[in-house]
Structure 1
Amino acid sequence: MIVFDLRCTGDHRFEAWFASGESFADQQARGLIACPVCGDIDVRKAVMAPRIGAKSNQLASATAAAPAPTSGEPTPELVRKVLAEIAAKQAEMLPHSRWVGRDFADAARAMHEGRAAEDMIHGQASPDEAQALRDDGIAAMPLLVPIVPPEAAN
C-alpha cells in the first residue's frame, strides 16, 4: 500500500491510500477519485514529504528505550505527537478560512445549495444544527482543537 497527498482544482488537499502508483493512475484516469470536500474529480498528486523509516541500527535502540505497549493502545508520546500534528495543521488552515460565527450552519447550507460561493469557513453550530447538516448530506466536521472566537480574543 502507498499513501499519496492529493489536491483538487479547488486547492483542497487530502490523502488517499492505493495498492500501487499504477492503481492510482488507473483510478485517476477513470475518474474514480473525488475530492472529499467539493467532489471534484480533477485530482492530482500534491507535493509531499517522503516517509522514511528509521535506520535498522537505530530501530533496536529506539525499541529498547521505549517498550511497545502490550495492550494495543497508543503510547502517551504517540498521542501527544498526533495531537500536536493535528493542532499544527489546524493552525495552518485557519488563516485561509473565513469565520462565520453562529451562522455556520446557514453559511454551509447556502454553499451546499449554490446560494453562496464555496469557501473554507469555520464557526459555531449547535449539536442539532450539525446533525441536520449531516442528515442533509452537507459535509462539515468539528475542529479537533478548540479555538477562541475572534470577538473573544484579546
Structure 2
Amino acid sequence: MIRYNLTCDQGHAFDSWFASAAAYDRLAAAGHVACPECGSSKVAKALMAPSVVARPDRSLTAPRDPREAALAELRARIEAESDYVGLSFAAEARAMHEGRAPERAIHGEAKLEDARRLIEDGVPVAPLPFLPARKAN
C-alpha cells in the first residue's frame, strides 16, 4: 500500500491510499481518483516527504503502532471467520442477497463499478482497509 498527498485543480488538498504506484496511475488516468470536497477528477500528486522511522528495537514484520496492530487483528479475524471468494465477490454477494445462495460471511475482490451496483441495489457490502491475500491451489 502507498499513501499519496493529492491536490485537485480547485486547490483542495487530501490524501488517499492505493495498492501501488501503478494502481494510482491507472485509476487517475481513468478519472477514478476524485477530490472528496468538490468531486473534481483533475487530481495530481502533491510534494511529499517519505515517512521512514528507523527502530532497531522492532522487527520489520511486527506492527509499529496500535493502528497497525488493530489492522492486523482485523485482517486475521476476517480471514478466519469468512470465506474468501476472490473475484466472484460481487456475484456471491448478490446471490446471497437475492436468496439464491445461503448467507455466510464472505470477503473478496470486486471492480469499482460492480461494488457501486451492489450498494445501489441495497446489498450490504463494505470495503476492507487492506487487500485480501489471494489464495491459490
TM-score w.r.t. the length of structure 2 is 0.49
Structure number with higher helix proportion? 1
TM-score computed with the length of structure 1 as normaliser: 0.44
| Structure with bigger gyration radius | 1
